[in-house]
Amino acid sequence: MLLAYKVCNYDLGVLTAKEKKIFTVNGFKLPLTWIDTSKIQYKVIKQKLILLIAPSLGGFLSFQNLAKSVSEYYNKLKVKFPHKPIIVISPWGYSWETNFLSKYPQIELLLGSGPGPGFSGELLHHKHTLWVRPFSLGKSVNFISILDYSSYLRQNRKWIFGKNIKAKIISLNSSIQEDNHLKKFLK
């Protein structure tokens, strides 16, 4: 499986501590571009966009402290990179992401994960925020294409589908065979 990811040549892989442990305990050497969600961190991707990796809930006294820390980190990145989109990657799940976005409307893009429903893209805060969540069991891939970030900035920080952003889901249908060994390994 890791060989498949290496062949894809992804710029970044994000793992929870639990996922990282599963791979390392089973002898898999993780690609150098993979990081875990043990702390708040960011990566600049091809000098075009910023990925802010939000940490898992463990290690913080409360979700409110965690959310505030991520928001403050985001704000510092926005000052440092004012003309680059920032995508927050969350391992928290739907409920905590809803809570976070209700309190911090400055977030431009949130790529969620964890428990909860999946959707290709929900616009929030007067179209200022795009929230995307994958469907469970890896049966689809979420695809986001930022077509024109400067248009987003010129439009009073509003995402307009088809003009400055696209979001869609690519279904992995029944023509792709399930790997029972992999399915068992990931349980």
pLDDT in tens, 166-175: 999 887 766 6
Residues 75-125 pLDDT 10s: 999 999 999 999 999 999 999 999 999 999 999 999 999 899 989 899 999
At 29 the pLDDT is 81
Q: What percent of the chain has pLDDT over 70?
A: 85
Measured CA to CA in angstroms, residue 6 lies from 29, 43, 132, 134, 136 at distances of: 11, 18, 24, 21, 23
Number of continuous H segments (helices) and E segments (strands) in the chain: 6, 10
Q: What percent of the chain has pLDDT over 90?
A: 56
Beta strand extents in 20-152 (DSSP E only): 34-36, 41-45, 49-53, 86-89, 109-111, 119-124, 129-133, 140-146
At 61 the pLDDT is 73
**Sign of the C-alpha dihedral computed for residues 174, 175, 181 and 182 taken in this order:** negative
* 122: exposed, middle or buried (Cβ count in 10 Å: 0-12, 13-18, 19+): middle
**Sign of the C-alpha dihedral computed for residues 158, 135, 86 and 11 taken in this order:** negative
- How far is Cα 38 from Cα 53, in angstroms, rounded to an integer? 9
What is the residue extent of each domain of the chain? 37-186
At 187 the pLDDT is 56
What CATH architecture is 37-186? Answer: 2-Layer Sandwich (3.30)
At 186 the pLDDT is 52
Chain centroid to Cα 185, Å, comes to 23
Helix (H, G, I), strand (E, B) or coil at 63: helix
Q: Are strands 49-53 and 41-45 parallel, antiparallel or unpaired?
A: antiparallel
Closest by CA position to 2, among listed 38, 46, 91, 19: 19
